[in-house]
């Protein structure tokens, strides 16, 4: 990878025209996603009655708040050039552990931090294995996936309902803007996570190191950046986001089930890629990931509105979009080189 893909804050001062050209190129994938999102929304409004209701758009957030959080964590990992296959399994494990402990009568105030800590520690462990033992991220997180999914199956193979008052309150609480227009608390939590993550990536030393590692890990090391610490931290962040996503999913479903969130790692990766983050790392924005999640959610909504289309069209459309965006990325990076 060339150094062209460094984040905006570290770019040396350049003539205005030149800087604008670089900036444009980096923004192309995000802008394409945005255009696609707007176009798709427009198609929906034009074709289906009631599609223009504000609540339809808000429901995309409500139904995908957990994916938004998970994808935010995944963005950090992919920006360093890594990958985290364990997220879906960690989400499932979180819901199972939370439901089991709540069922056993533990107070929510204890369960909540405990499950968040569990995901974070799992992420920390995977990061440590990847860094210290030079195990490939793909394999280390694959092991994490087997481990988390296996653990949740071991704890309980059946779906466990959650009846805890705090959980049901969180599930039912609606923040209303106008009659019939509302969001859930999960959306608020997800948006806070996204804002914090975007700030960290754009304005902190940690964020810059993440981009630098993805650009070229060897150069980053030679520059004296804390590559090892950052790499471990990135998987820790992803682990935390996965368990938080699990908590949000358990708010949404009000149950813990070992088969929850199957294949979610691929949804998260797809969202990040469609959002324009380079899979080789080093380039992309969290805002793109948010757009990617919204695009996936909007496809689902349109398919629901269409009624005659089956849900498996979602997968085919996501596949086609992935293909389009990856080829686009390829063209953009090739020109940058």
Residues that bind other proteins (CB under 8 A): 83, 129, 132-136, 138-140, 142-147, 149-151, 153-154, 157, 258, 266, 269-270, 273, 279-280, 310, 312-316, 318-320, 322-323, 326-327, 330, 334
- Toward other proteins, which CB reaches closer, 184 or 238? 238
CB of 122 to other proteins, least distance (A): 11
Q: How far is the CB of 150 from other proteins (least distance, A)?
A: 3
Distance of closest approach, residue 207 Cβ to other proteins, in angstroms: 24
Closest distance to other proteins from the beta carbon of 263 (Å) = 9
Closest CB to other proteins among 187 and 298? 298
Alpha carbon of 194 to those of 52, 135, 253, 320: distances in Å?
Answer: 25, 29, 22, 26
227: Cα separation from own chain's centroid: 22
Q: How far apart are alpha carbons 152 and 260 in whole angstroms?
A: 10
* b/e sequence 305-320, b meaning 16+ C-beta within 10 Å: eeeeeeeeebeebbee
Query: Which pair of tokens denotes residue 168?
Result: 């049901």
Burial of 77 (0-12, 13-18, 19+ CB in 10 A): buried
Quote the least distance from Cβ 151 to other proteins, whole Å.
Answer: 7
**Least CB distance to other proteins at residue 113 (A):** 25
Distance CA 99, CA 107 (A): 11
Least gap, CB of 314 to other proteins (angstroms): 7
State the minimum distance, in angstroms, from the CB of residue 16 to other proteins: 33
CB of 16 or CB of 133, closer to other proteins? 133
Nearer CB in complex with other proteins: 73/144: 144
User: Which residue number, 119 or 144, has a Cβ lying nearer to other proteins?
Assistant: 144
Do residues 265 and 88 lie in contact, with contact meaning Cβ atoms separated by under 8 Å?
A: yes
Residues 6+ apart with CB under 8 A from 67: 245, 264, 267, 268, 271, 293, 296, 297
Q: What do you get for the CA distance between the two ends of the chain, in Å?
A: 8
CB atoms within 10 A of CB 220: 23
Smaller CB distance to other proteins: residue 60 or 270? Answer: 270
Of residues 21 and 157, the one with the C-beta less far from other proteins = 157
Burial of 192 (C-beta count, 10 Å sphere; 0-12/13-18/19+): exposed
What's the CA angle centered on 293, arms 263 and 76, to 5 degrees?
Answer: 80
Residue 187 or 270 with smaller CB distance to other proteins: 270
């Amino acid at each position: 990878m060339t150094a062209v893909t460094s984040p905006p804050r570290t770019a040396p001062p350049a003539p205005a025209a030149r800087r604008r050209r670089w900036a444009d190129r980096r923004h192309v994938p995000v802008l394409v996603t945005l255009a696609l999102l707007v176009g798709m929304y427009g198609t929906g409004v034009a074709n289906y009655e009631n599609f223009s209701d504000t609540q339809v758009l808000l429901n995309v957030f409500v139904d995908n708040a957990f994916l938004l959080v998970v994808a935010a964590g995944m963005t950090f990992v992919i920006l360093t050039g890594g990958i985290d296959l364990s997220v879906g399994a960690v989400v499932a494990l979180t819901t199972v552990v939370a439901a089991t402990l709540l069922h056993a009568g533990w107070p929510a105030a204890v369960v909540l931090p405990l499950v968040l800590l569990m995901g974070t520690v799992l992420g920390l462990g995977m990061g440590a294995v990847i860094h210290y033992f030079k195990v490939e991220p793909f394999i280390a997180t694959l092991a994490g996936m087997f481990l988390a999914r296996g653990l949740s199956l071991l704890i309980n193979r059946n779906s466990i309902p959650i009846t805890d008052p705090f959980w049901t309150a969180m599930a039912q609480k609606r923040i209303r803007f106008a009659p019939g227009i509302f969001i859930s608390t999960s959306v608020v939590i997800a948006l806070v996570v996204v804002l914090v993550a975007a700030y960290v990536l754009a304005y902190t030393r940690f964020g810059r190191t993440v981009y630098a590692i993805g650009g070229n890990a060897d150069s980053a090391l030679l520059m004296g950046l804390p590559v090892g610490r950052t790499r471990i931290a990135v998987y820790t962040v992803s682990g935390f986001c996965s368990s938080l996503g699990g908590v949000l999913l358990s708010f949404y479903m009000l149950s813990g089930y070992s088969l929850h969130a199957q294949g979610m790692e691929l949804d998260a990766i797809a969202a990040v890629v469609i959002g324009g983050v380079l899979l080789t790392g080093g380039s992309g924005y969290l805002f793109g990931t948010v757009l990617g999640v919204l695009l996936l959610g909007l496809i689902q909504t349109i398919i629901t509105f269409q009624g005659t289309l089956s849900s498996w069209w979602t997968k085919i459309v996501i596949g086609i979009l992935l293909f389009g965006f990856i080829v686009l990325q390829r063209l953009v990076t090739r020109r940058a080189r």
